[in-house]
Each structure stands twice: as structure tokens, then as C-alpha cells.
Amino acid sequence: MHIGLIGLGKMGFNMRARLRQAGIEVTGFDRNPEVTDVETIDALVAELQAPRIIWVMVPSGAITDSVIAELGEKLSPGDLVIDGGNSRFTEDQKHAAELAEKSIKFLDCGVSGGIWGLENGYGLMAGGSDEDIETAMPIFDALRPEGDRADSFVHVGGVGAGHYAKMVHNGIEYGLMQSYAEGYELLAAKDIVKDLPGTFRAWQKGTVVRSWLLDLMVKALDEDPGLAAIDDYVEDSGEGRWTVEEAIASAVPVPAITAALYARFASREDNSPAMRMVSALRNQFGGHATKPAK
């Protein structure tokens, strides 16, 4: 199998490497000449034999729109486009309709694993037709962790369902990070607590709150015990807002996720140890930039 991959940022770069390790030939395109395999999208399309599969891994919004539109002009009927970025599910439905007018197929795939996916594999949530999912399954199997497929891959439903599931996943992630971070601040505020990093380390095995996020929290404290180098300003990349908006539209109460989103807004005004930890966690799992401490 030979596929194209557009977007060789941190995740796209690692995904290309993991696919190649699994024996899938990948031609990548990126505007960064240091990482791209070809100079143009035209050259990428020319490298692939029809029916082509092109995975798009670029920022959501206008950039994804422009890439999908360009592919619509350059691909052939029967080719398949997979959007693996963090697009909103409503955009998937729009992109699928645009490509369908030219008989080009479309899948959406939520991808979780951050900068650790090359080593550990990625959790994948896909949306689209059964036929197109089957066509792309060798790619999904190469990207996911070893073991049972059902433990790391799901065909959620029709177009948009994959990104909808990833949106909810990220909303849950907001709440989990906020809970860990608030616990960190509470422990740090108590004078009788003498070993703060050790407390979290002792939770890594056997306790009901153990998780990969907790492991990354311990790693962050090992690297910077007081988080002195990190500002408490925390970005939100969109999925938390979309989750809350969908909850309102569906009349589903999501108080923990909503509070975690609002805490990020508040972090842009206050000095908060908890929000420094959230910023540190986002950097640990996703390589998201942090602001240096003031």
C-alpha cells in the first residue's frame, strides 16, 4: 500500500514514521522543506497510483478547508481522503459533500496519542462508510497499538462521527486534567505535605486514579518540581468549547467539562498553580507550547 500524507507537524511526522515501520509506503507533503518528501501537492498526487488514499493532518478550520478544496480539484473519482486532524464534525459533513460531487470518497478520523504515538500507537475513532473503512483498515491497523483492534480503534458511525467522538474524548480530557491539577494545588498548599512529587508517584500503581495522564504529571514534576518555568496561561484548542456547545444543544449536563473549560479562561487572568499543571500536562502529552513564567 502507498498513501499520501499532507501535514508533517509533530503528529504527522511521527505518523509517517510509524506507517513506514509497518511496511506502508508514505509520501508526505509539508510546506516545511526540511521534512517534506515532495515540493507540491501536485507532485504528491502524481506519486500515487489510483485509487489514491491521502491522509490530511493539518490544523482545523481554514487550512483544512483549503487543502480539501485543492484535493477536490486534483484527485480522481474513486480516490479517498481521510481527515485526521481535529476538525469539527459539521465540517466533515461539508467536506464529504463537496468531494462526493466529484465522486471522491471521504473519512474522518479522530486521533489520540499526541507526540507519544510513534512509540505507543494511536487511539483512532473513524467515521464514514463500511466500504471506505475497510479500504483504509491497513492504515488504521498500522497506526494503532498492538493487540485487539477493539481496544484502540472504533468505526463510530457515519461521516462526522469519528470527530464527534474525538471531541467528547477531548472534553473528558479537560475534566480529568483539571481534577489532577486541582488536587496538585490543594496538596501543594498544605504545610504538612513534604513530598508532593512522591505522592503522585505513589498513585501510579494500584490506585483507582492511576492513568497515563497521572504518569505524565509525575514526569512533569520530575522535570520541573515546582513548575517554576511554566506560566499558568492555558490555551484551549476548540474541542472543549464544541463539547459544551453540543451538550447545550442536546440538553445534556456536563458540569465538570464546562467548569474545566471556564478554568482555562480564568487562567488567563489569575496566577494559579493548578493551571500551571494543566499547561504542563498539555505539553507532556501533546507537545503544546507553554508560556514561560513571568
| Non-local CB neighbours of 123 within 8 Å, separated by 6+ positions | 111, 112, 113, 144, 145, 152, 153, 169
Q: What is the spatial distance between Cα 28 and Cα 214, in angstroms, rounded to a whole number? A: 34
All three cell numbers of 178, joined, read 483539571
Q: What is the spatial distance between Cα 279 and Cα 206, in angstroms, rounded to a whole number? A: 26
Task: Report residue 71: phi and psi, to 5°.
Answer: -65, -35
| Non-local CB neighbours of 200 within 8 Å, separated by 6+ positions | 184, 214, 217, 218, 221
Q: What is the spatial distance between Cα 29 and Cα 98, in angstroms, rounded to a whole number? A: 22
Catalytic site includes residue 219: no
Among candidate residues 91, 173, 182, 239, the one labeled active-site is: 173
Among candidate residues 105, 166, 182, 239, the one labeled active-site is: 166
| Residues 27, 30, 34, 40, CA torsion sign | positive
Q: What is the spatial distance between Cα 259 and Cα 244, in angstroms, rounded to a whole number? A: 10
Catalytic site includes residue 235: no
Q: Which are the catalytic amino acids?
A: 166, 173
